[in-house]
A and B are shown apart, each in its own frame.
Chain A
Amino acid sequence: MTLLERDPKAAPAWRGELPVTSRYTFGLAGERFFRAIQEEGRILGTRCDGCARTYVPGTIFCERCLGELDKWVDVGKVGEVHTYTLLYEAPDGSQRETPEIVAFVRLGDGGLVHRLGEVEPEALAIGMSVQAVFKPIAEREGSILDIVYFRPI
């Protein structure tokens, strides 16, 4: 029995719903970070010189010293695969023939968890360089999915 099948011997249950819909602001840092992705196809970080860290995505504060950060830097589109996984089971419980690949891509001292594309599972390697592939500018909407995936270079 998979997780998604109901046990016919289960106790009678009351069905209820929790209505949860949220509108999230991007935040002061997020406004800057996502506008750069949408309008310029750039990935921005912020620099804390005192702690010698470049935060990606950029933040308005350093989590180490709680200092204010206003030095924005373009960290480029190329990062390094820090680790990855192959998603064989889909969210609905079915098996995929070709796994989806997600990776943590190091950019600056931070990075992004994102999809990898244009690569076969056999060719994956930790430490490989990958580059962000953006949607055409007209289709971007200020979302992390404006980056379609990262591909090897």
Chain B
Amino acid sequence: MSMRKVAVVGAGMTKFVRRAQETAKELSWQAAHMALESCEMTMDDIEAVCLGTAPDSFDGIHMNGEYLSDGAGAWRKPFMRSYVGGGTGVFVPIQGWYHVASGLFDVVLVVAEEKMSSYYPHAQAAFLTIFDHTTERPLKPNLLWIFALEMNRYMSTYGIRKEDIALVSVQHKRNAADHPCALLGDPNITVEDVLNSETLAWPVQRYDVSPVSDGAVALVLAAEHVTKRVTDKPVWIEGVGWNLDTAHWTNRDLAYPRYVEYAARQAYEMAGIKEPRKEIHIAEPYDPFDYKALHHLEGLQLADRGQAAQLYVDGVAARDGDMPVCPSGGLLGVGNPIAAAGLMKIAELFWQLRGEAGERQVPGQPKRGLAQAWGDLMQVGTVVIMGR
């Protein structure tokens, strides 16, 4: 395959908050505006726009992509919305990547937005609408107890203790205390705090879960010849991958995310990575729940099956460890405006690899990072590898 090199050259991010006064399109605009300013570009430089936003029902408007298009800068541009549920935030930069890698466009604006607070009384009710109407919905499922089923299976399969899983939440929320856009950063949270928090659907407790949030993130992607002109600190998209497993609960391995493995293998192959545990310096796995970060690290081949918690126990996953995990603070700490949360991870790699992550900066001048998201009907994995 002959594909052009693509770099991220600019990034912008709103605060992640519980309930934004801004409309969804105003949030999109704020992030897009910041991304353009960060690389001193204007809309005249932007040739196409890619937008990611998760279920329409959060924002409370159908065809939400079209609704958000003005805030995302789509006026009289080629525009496309992508949507793979929670995986969207790491899929939309892949979409932006192939817009540029293909040679079709030189500069693309990528925007991801979610405003979950519109849904009343709580965004969880929106998830009721994604399940099968005859076999599942009569039981009134929500994501908390759906994930509790998966978490229990994961714990039981490998004999993982709740207190070790709680370490994930503690570390991510502590990391988020250094993120200026974070909703739930807490430098003092402890494992006991997590274990003593309200049980929602056993084994899922309040602090095992990321918060519903409002926010937006945007990136500017550019082809190599443009990148050289606009920045001396390019961060290249070196590998991408995405993969869908069966949408049937009954037909999927709940203890191991095979679809994440396949997405990761696609990305590693593209990036020429043979030994991911040595070659990935920063990992931003998707962490809407603490156990999901572990689940995903295993799917990403960054830990053996059932062993990811050990990375936290041993300090490998700490910001100053051998392979920092979610130095941003992740969804557990920064917040989880669905599509925006995934793109936040890409923005974090951009800032980390450029040495611009401030208080969150991972030491040792990291050269390569990986971000991953997951979602849809809990069966999609999306992976992006970036390097400098």
Contact = CB atoms under 8 A, between A and B. Distances in A.
Contact of A16 (B32, B33, B137): B137
A20 B123 CA distance: 10
A64 interface: yes
B23 interface: yes
Interface in B117-169: 117-121, 125-126, 128-129, 133-134, 137-138
A2 interface: no
A66 B60 contact: no
Contacts of A61: 26, 29, 33, 70-71
A66 B29 contact: yes
Contact of A23 (B20, B120, B133): B120
Interface size of B as a range: 20 to 34
Contacts of B129: 18, 20
Contacts of B60: 20, 22, 24
Contacts of B57: 20
B303 interface: no
Name the interface size band of chain A: 20 to 34
B22 interface: yes
Contact of B23 (A23, A30, A63): A30
A20 B19 CA distance: 18
B134 A14 contact: yes
B36 interface: yes
Interface of B: 19-23, 25-26, 29, 32-33, 36, 42-43, 57, 60, 70-71, 73, 75-76, 117-121, 125-126, 128-129, 133-134, 137-138
A38 B323 CA distance: 56
Instruction: Give the top 5 A-B pairs by smallest Cβ distance, nearest first.
Output: A22-B60, A27-B23, A63-B70, A61-B29, A21-B120
Nearest to B60: A22
A25 B26 CA distance: 11
Interface in A2-61: 14, 16, 18-31, 59-61
A32 B134 CA distance: 45
A25 B71 contact: no
A7 B22 CA distance: 45
A68 interface: yes
Interface string A56-90: 00011101111010000000000000000000000
A113 to B, nearest CB: 15
Of listed B20, B121, B133, residue having the most chain A CB within 10 A: B133
A28 B75 contact: no
Given A18-B129, A19-B125, A63-B75, A27 B29 contact: no
A66 B32 contact: yes
Given A19-B125, A66-B73, A25 B22 contact: yes
A30 B22 CA distance: 9
Given A24-B23, A61-B29, A68-B33, 10 more contacts: A19-B125, A21-B120, A22-B60, A22-B119, A23-B118, A25-B20, A25-B21, A25-B118, A27-B26, A66-B36
Contacts of A60: 26, 29
